[in-house]
Structure 1
Amino acid sequence: MRAELFTDPSVFVQLADEWDDLLARAVVPSIFLSHRWQSTWWRHFGNGHLLLITVRDEANRLMGLAPLFCSQESPECVSFIGCVDVSDYLDFIVDRSHAEAVYQTLWEFTCSPYMPRWEALNLCNIPAASPTCERLSALAQAAGFASSVTQESVCPVVTLPESWEAYLASLDKKQRHEIRRKLRRAEESAEVHWYVLGQPDEVAAHIESFIELHQKSTAEKRDFWDEKMVAFFRAISRSFAEAGWLKLYFIEFNGERAATFMCFDYRNEILVYNSGYDPERFAWLSPGIVLNAHIIEHAIQLGRRRLDFLRGDEEYKFRFGAMPEPVYRLRIERLSS
């Protein structure tokens, strides 16, 4: 196998037809590694030097991608494209049938003179299912580098059964009662209407409402937004809607929007990406919890097998029956000679 380094963003156009074909064959086929996500992130947040490595076999078929960069602030430190805040899972994109050879080729190239000299690889948000931490740590240590793996966070995940009633039965008695009670209270206290938008024109018309509700939720969420972030969310929501990957949920009480969730529908999973609600209106009716329950029921109706709440150990996720899956950071450093 042979590796090649690309430093010009035009490579995203060059690889457009091959990127997601490789991702479909990958060990970790995450939506955050898709061509749409990676190229959109780089266009809005890429502020340093692109270091994208391709690995091809003897037939010139793409077998691996290392979407890396180093920032202007820390040129000696190499990270994944997308690291860290808005991308919940990141990794190398490796053909699962040739993983060992691809990892070996990537590592050897990363240490070669063809790659700008780095002092540290700081690789965030690696999912538990990925072999990257184990494989790359072993290669690094064998070559005399220092490596460490730390757990960064968890992604609580619900395995979905075949029916809503079976899902409720899987919860403990207290949580099952709470969900039913909040759904009933909302229905008895207001005219409830929840719905999902997914067409590109619909999403473009209503993304500002999502942003507004997200900003209202907490001071931390309000401070999350700047011009770059707004532009990124507008772009990625439209791009994912065009691919059929976006579901924008809203719930209304008495005709007023009370809460919203942005979810991704990808590879038979629903990923609950972000949410917002208006704490000044209808907070006593728990609009976020009520809408979340409807999203789970909708995912079951669609036949999805998992609902991933993504990074964060907020208590409400576990009340919905989620189980934590760890997310790791791998750091490899050159040792002083």
Structure 2
Amino acid sequence: MHIDIIETLPSLAKLEDNWNAVYDADPEAQIFLSWKWLNGWLSHIEGPWFILAAKAADSTDAPYVAFFPLRLQTTIEKDVLHEVKMAGNFSADYTGMVCAPDAEGKVIPAFARYIKQMHWARLNLENVRMSERRFRLLLAYFPKANFQVTEVNRVGNNDGIDNSVCPYAALPKDWEAYLLSLSANTRQKIRRLLKQVDADGEYRITVSTPETFARDLDTLLRFWAIKWRPRKGDLTDKLVRSNTITLTRSFKSGLVFLPTFWQGDRPVAALATLVDQRKRTFSFYITGRDEAFDGPPPGLLLHAFSIRHAIENGFSEYDFLRGNEPYKYSYHCAERKIHCTLVETRNGRNLGDGIDPRSIPDVLEQATDLHQKRNLAAAERGYRRILDVQPKHADALHRLGQLLVANDNHAGAKRLFKTLTMVRPDAPKAWLCLAQACESLGQHAEAIQPYLEVMKLSPDQADGFVGLSRALVKLGRIEEVNNALLSTLGTTEKPAVRKWRGSDRASAVTPRLHEERQLSS
């Protein structure tokens, strides 16, 4: 089995037809693994993502038979540590893979072997909706003798809700048949409530259109934020922004059904479900209501309205997604379980003791942030890990060199800056850093050539002039100062020369140098 890596949106776009064919064939596929959902989600998430794509032969013509969407999260602690996560999190209620059923016996071991070759300390199999057969086949390649494997408890501390339990209602072809599956009390309530909104009286339900979607989504998320802010705190605004982007993209792709419940002109509640035309499922995603409203129960009304719409349009399942809240079972629900398992290396370090090249931009950003916060030891670990993978990484060379200078390790800084000048010979800053490191080591003669390079590359800046003069003075070669400047720059008429000659920095180098300047002017 051949594994390719898909890690750009243009590459993913080319796979739409192939992906949909596998998705349609896979009885375990679900909305959060659909091409439309993932394409929208991956287009705005931060950090590197990648999709393992399996096919039977290493041929450009062979179609892929499975896809496993993943992402990489990096932290710098005692070392640079990677966590491989499911690509859909945190937005997707379910994660996993799509796979042609007749290929899973070869595909899943191939995926597992590839993952074991990567550098990671944690493999977070969170919210994986996968048959026990497939999941055990995957975990078999991470034996407890070599890895620490932990089943993660998904029961909430505050509410006791088990978020690994996912209720869903199988839908018959007839609305009345569905109503008969409910308790008499629930059935009577639903009939009475829907009759009220169908009558075009005080209460009504509208369904979002392209013209009203932004308004309706804003209503939903505004109500949602009011309810959940006390529990979620500062995270609330981030979740609102993420849901706005995700649901807007999904609506444009035809994946969202959003009814809003009104009392006159007052919006009371809204509910968004995800619509999977390929698998014929509705999935309840998010809802919000005006907590001050004292009238017909909006939740019951909107769920009933959505279920009726789903049945009338030929859908076969209404999925309440994660969480075994008691109210869900009033809709005649069965249950399915999802897997939440954490696989960790025994020593707490990345497999292979390296870092994933995909993480380098993230490692650099984190190391730079740690550097600015004066956590120099952690920042140094980050920079060095980058250089282990890319020894000629210009930014890592420069920033680690600066860090070593701050730690008075000028010899180490000099080695890095010397490499930097070979990587970026056109960068005056690289030559300036090398020259200054040489001076800090008392190697004034060795500093001369780097300073000359600075002057050639950046003749309008005084740093090279001042540095060269200082080095020559330290060597007792004051008479060479003006000659070196003129031979490098060619003329005293250049603005930078005049500026330098008249600057306080030039006269402050040494009184004797100032005397030389006066004699030659």
Once the two structures are superposed, what CA deviation does each residue of 1:22-69 show, in whole Å capped at 9, x if it has no partner?
Answer: 32333532211123332433343323x334322222253112222112
Q: Structure 1 314/72 Cα, relative in aligned 2: closer, same or farther at 3 Å?
A: same
Question: Is 1:77 aligned with 2:83?
Answer: yes
Larger strand proportion, structure 1 or 2? 1
What is the CA RMSD across the aligned residues, in angstroms? 3.1
Q: Does the aligned pair in 2 maintain the 1:40–1:232 contact within 8 Å?
A: no
Structure 1 residues 328 and 208, CA gap change in structure 2 (3 angstroms): same
> Which sits farther off after the overlay, 135-144 or 52-61?
135-144
Mapped partners of 1:143, 1:2: distance in 2 = 28
Counterpart residue number, 1:164: 175
- Give the distance between the partners of 1:299 and 1:101, measured in 2 at CA: 37
Counterpart in the other structure of 1:214 = 224
Q: 1:295 aligns with which of 306, 311, 323?
A: 306
Q: Distance in 1 between matches of 2:175 and 2:231?
A: 31
Identify which of 271, 275, 278 aligns with 2:290.
278
Contact 1:214 1:221 (C-alpha < 8 Å) held by counterparts: no
- Structure 1 distance, partners of 2:24, 2:124, is 25
Deviation at 1:136, TM superposition (A): 0.9
**Structure 1 position 103 matched with structure 2 position 105:** no
Deviation per residue, 1:233-285 (Å, 9 max, x gap): 3333333233322111111122321111101111211111110111113x332
Distance 1:36 1:46 in 2: 19
- Ranked by relative contact order (alpha carbons within 8 Å, sequence separation 6 or more), the top structure is 1
In the TM superposition, residue 318 of structure 1 has moved relative to its aligned partner by 1.2
Larger relative helix fraction = 2
Q: Does the 8 A contact of 2:198 with 2:204 survive in 1? A: no
Cα 1:180–1:221 shift into 2, 3 Å = farther
Are residues 317 and 96 of structure 1, via their aligned partners in 2, closer, same or farther at CA, if it must alter by over 3 Å? Answer: same
Gaps spanning 5+ residues in structure 1: where? none
The change in CA–CA distance for 1:154 and 1:178 in structure 2 (over 3 A counts) is same
Residue in 2 aligned with 1:321? 332
Contact 2:29/2:97, CA 8 A, preserved across alignment: no
Q: 1:221 to 1:319 in 2, by over 3 A?
A: farther
1:253 aligns with 2:259: no
Residue 256 and residue 222 in structure 1: after superposition, are their counterparts in 2 closer, same or farther (change >3 A)? farther
Q: Hey, what does 1:134 align to over in structure 2?
A: 136
1:263 aligns with 2:265: no
Matched residue type, 2:283: L
Structure 2 length normalisation: TM-score?
0.57
Cα contact 2:40–2:250 (8 A) shared by 1 = no
User: What is the TM-score normalised by the length of structure 1?
Assistant: 0.84
> In the aligned structure 1, how far is the partner of 2:17 from the partner of 2:191?
47
Greater mean alpha carbon deviation, residues 63-72 or residues 50-59: 50-59
- SS, match of residue 72 in structure 1: strand
Match for residue 31 of structure 1?
A: 31
Corresponding position of 1:63: 65
**Compared CA separation, residues 142 and 172, structure 1 to 2 (3 A):** same
- The one-letter amino acid of 1:4's match is D
In 1: Cα distance, 2:338 partner to 2:153 partner: 6
Q: Give the superposition deviation at 1:221.
A: 7.7
Count of residues in correspondence between the two structures: 329
**Is 1:50 aligned to residue 60 of structure 2?**
no
CA contact (8 A) 2:228 2:236 kept: no
Does the CA contact (< 8 Å) of 2:166 and 2:321 recur in 1?
A: yes
CA distance in 2: counterparts of 1:81 and 1:99, whole angstroms: 20
SS in 1 for 2:173: coil
Once the two structures are superposed, residues 261-311 of structure 1 have per-residue CA deviations (whole angstroms, 9 ceiling, x without a partner) of: 101111211111110111113x33212212222222222211211110111
2:149 is matched by which residue type in structure 1? S
For residues 119-168 of structure 1, give each alpha carbon's deviation from its aligned partner in whole angstroms, at most 9, with x where no partner exists: 22111111254643211122322984443445642111011123332222
The answer to whether structure 1 residue 312 and structure 2 residue 323 are counterparts is yes
Which residue matches 2:344? Answer: 333
Q: Hey, what's the Cα distance between the residues in 2 that align with 1:234 and 1:142? A: 41
Select the structure of larger CA radius of gyration.
2
* Superposition deviation, residue 184 in structure 1: 6.5
Counterpart in 1 of 2:22?
Answer: 22
Q: Partner letter of residue 79 of structure 1?
A: K
Structure 2: distance between partners of 1:160 and 1:50: 35
Q: How far apart are residue 178 of structure 1 and its match? A: 4.3
Q: Deviations over 1:173-215 (max 9, x none)?
A: 3433444465568789x61211222x44442453222222322
Provide the rounded CA distance (Å) in 2 between the counterparts of 1:241 and 1:65: 24
